[in-house]
Structure 1
Amino acid sequence: MKSHTPPVPVPVLMLVGITAISFSSIFIKWSAAPVSIQGMYRLFFTSLLMLPFARPYTGSAARLKRSDWLLLLASGTMLALHFLLWMGSLRYTSVASSTMILALEPLFIMIGAYVWYKERTPSSALLGLGIALAGIGLIGWGDVGLSSDNLKGDLLSLGGTAAVAGHLLIGQKLAKRMPSYLYSLTVFAAAALVFAAYNLLMGIPFFDYPPREWGIFALLAVVPTVFGHVLFNWLLQFVSAATVSMNILGEPVGSSILAFLLLGERLGALQWSGGLLVIGGLAYYLYIEGRNRRSRA
């Protein structure tokens, strides 16, 4: 149980973060650059923005053990994998389907927390996750009716969801013994380096992009990353990874509204039904988890 609280109420901070990350899929859809380039510059520019404010944390960085640096590299690798898979999914399926599948993050958090931290989930909460999984099945079934590419996008989003859960679980462990700002900066830099190595190996050009693309790279760094991921990493000091993962309940709603307004995307009845089941099931799961935490406290 956390013994301190942030200076601004958690719900307000979560709302800011949800609004920011809802723009992520829109910027990705607007870009014609390879997703690995988008991810690399998104994280590289974010690291550059954060670097001037990192001086107070040099002492903390010097005190980190070798095992901590290895965990930071692992967390950065998982974050890069998340972006590669999830951003790639938007090439094949709709914003709504991709972000609704991303909402399964608490399921992977639950599995990882049980395996790594021996945290058990009450059976009553599992009912909510079962409902959410049924919703994912409906989304996938509806997307199959559209094209096989849509199903491919759904699977990529599912893989990206598992990766970001791993990133968050590692972050929960590291946030207890290092400043969140230092954690975010080093993880983003590590993920950018992973992307750079990937692009180099795949022969993807680093610089041959028009000014419009560079503008999108900058927007991806400032809006969803700084005001989304950095904020959520900071919140790990005060709340659990499962609580931070509540942001995924709002992202599908915000992203779907923006996709309708800015991209003209529309969903069929099966996708909407599946999305409602996902959000409803996860809301129930998080409610039960929160009630049990308060009971234990």
Structure 2
Amino acid sequence: MNATKPPVPVPLLMLAGIVAISFSAIFIKWSAAPASVQGMYRLLFTSLLMLPFARPYSGAAFALRRKDWLLLGASGVLLALHFLLWMGSLKYTSVASSTMIMALEPLFIMLGAYILYKDRSTRAAILGLAIAIFGVVCIGWGDIGLSSDNLKGDLLSVGGTVAVAGHLLIGQKLVARMPSYLYSLIVFISAAVVFAVYNLLAGISFVNYPPREWGIFILLAVVPTVFGHILFNWLLQFTSATTVSMNILGEPVGASILAFLLLGEELTGLQWTGGLLVMGGLAVYLLSGRKKAVKVHESLQSAS
């Protein structure tokens, strides 16, 4: 993380990112293409959008060490695995249930940050996280485990959550010494290549999709990826991976509301209450977690 502040307050940028990523599950539900194809084109189109602006970072790319390239590759593999599992989960379970499980990501982040960086959270931060996690459980309570398909979707979402937690932890270490834009571009290209190899080996078509599907692929690249994931990667310069991950807890709220409006997925009073609890937990965490960012930065520097 850098000592400087972003031009726009971090909470506002977090909110914009949450709204953007909330559309991800909606676009995925609208698509009939395999999850691996959606993920491949989502990352490929995002990389193509980023490439024209990558020239200023060429020097930083040549300065990367072998260890950095290995970590970048690992981060790309984990990102591809995250998209493959989580996007696949939406074929079997509801938006509320899948995004609820994804919101458990901070638990894995906190555990990983403690193991790798000796990063301890404050009691107030843990309280905020507990409130938000309880709210997320309320959101998906009515859907989880109702059938074997739901259970399969739940397990896929858990696997995707573990993968993205590892991706974020690696990202936090790398952006401490390289531009976040370069990090995002290399990781997205790496993940797209992983998807391409997977689709090739699985015999999945690369091109036989109607125009509507191509439109969805582009929307997935522009809305939740550029204005969601890239924004969150950029924010790793100014705040910790745990804080970034915590704010993604807002996704189940936004995604569930959009699923109700656009997909007709009903929400119960318990789920609406859960949404309020999530936002309350976010507020508690944000108010208590700012001082911790400096300590995480120091740990990252000593681990480099």
Q: TM-score, normalised by structure 2?
A: 0.88
| 1:139 to partner: Cα distance | 6.5
**How far does residue 252 in structure 1 lie from its aligned partner after superposition?**
1.1
What is aligned with 2:73?
73
The secondary structure found in structure 1 opposite 2:146 is: coil
Structure 2 counterpart of 1:23 = 23
- Any stretches of 5+ residues in structure 2 without a counterpart? 298-304
* CA distance in 1 between partners of 2:211 and 2:290 (Å): 46
Q: Distance in 1 between matches of 2:293 and 2:170?
A: 21
Secondary structure in structure 2 of the residue aligned to 1:23:
helix
- Look up the equivalent residue of 1:60 and give its one-letter code: A
1:105 to partner: Cα distance: 1.6
Residue of structure 2 in register with 1:101 after alignment? 101
CA, structure 1 residues 241+270, in 2 after alignment: closer, same or farther (shift >3 Å)?
same
Match of 1:244 in 2: 244
**What is the match of residue 179 of structure 1?**
179
User: How far is the alpha carbon of 1:267 from its aligned partner?
Assistant: 3.5
Measured in 1, the distance between the counterparts of 2:60 and 2:296 equals: 33
Distance change >3 Å, CA 78–CA 296, structure 1 → 2? closer
* Larger CA deviation: 124-133 vs 104-113: 124-133
Q: Residues of 2 paired with 1:7 and 1:104: CA distance?
A: 30
Given the superposition, is the C-alpha separation of residues 240 and 293 from structure 1 closer, same or farther in structure 2, using an over 3 Å criterion? closer
* 1:288 to partner: Cα distance: 4.0
Whole-Å separation in 1 of the counterparts to 2:130 and 2:244: 20
CA distance in 2, matches of 1:261, 1:197: 36
After superposition, the Cα gap between the structure-2 partners of 1:82 and 1:296, relative to the gap in structure 1 and judged at 3 Å, is closer
Residues in 2 aligned to 1:294 and 1:66: alpha-carbon distance in whole angstroms:
27
Aligned to 1:54: 54
What is the distance in 2 between the residues matched to 1:295 and 1:108?
19
SS of match in other structure, 1:51: helix
Residue 10 of structure 1: how far off its partner (Å): 1.3
Identical aligned pairs, as a percentage? 75
Is 1:212–2:195 an aligned residue pair? no
With over 3 angstroms needed to count, the CA separation of the structure-2 counterparts of 1:142 and 1:258, relative to structure 1, is closer
CA distance in structure 2 between the aligned counterparts of 1:292 and 1:188, rounded to whole angstroms: 29
Hey, what does 1:228 align to over in structure 2?
Answer: 228
2:240 counterpart letter in structure 1: S
TM-score (norm 1): 0.90
Name the CA distance, whole Å, in 1 between partners of 2:67 and 2:249. Answer: 33
Letter in 2 for 1:43: L
- Would you identify which runs of 4 or more consecutive aligned residues in structure 1 move more than 2 Å? 121-146, 267-297
Aligned with 1:238: secondary structure?
Answer: coil
Match of 1:189 in 2: 189
Shift of residue 52, structure 1, vs aligned partner: 1.1
Q: Which amino acid aligns with 1:13?
A: L
Aligned to 2:7: 7
Residue 289 of structure 2 aligns to a residue whose secondary structure is: helix
Superposition map of 1:84-123 within 5 A: 84-123=84-123
Structure 1 residues 159-178: Cα deviation after superposition (integer angstroms, max 9, x where no partner):
21111111111111110111
Q: Relative to structure 2, which stretch is displaced further, 21-30 or 193-202?
A: 193-202
- Per the alignment, in what secondary structure is the counterpart of residue 246 of structure 1? helix
Please say if residues 92 and 153 of structure 2, whose CA atoms lie closer than 8 Å, have aligned partners that are also in contact. yes
Q: CA deviation at 1:281?
A: 5.1
Partner of 2:164: 164
- The alignment's C-alpha RMSD in Å is 2.6
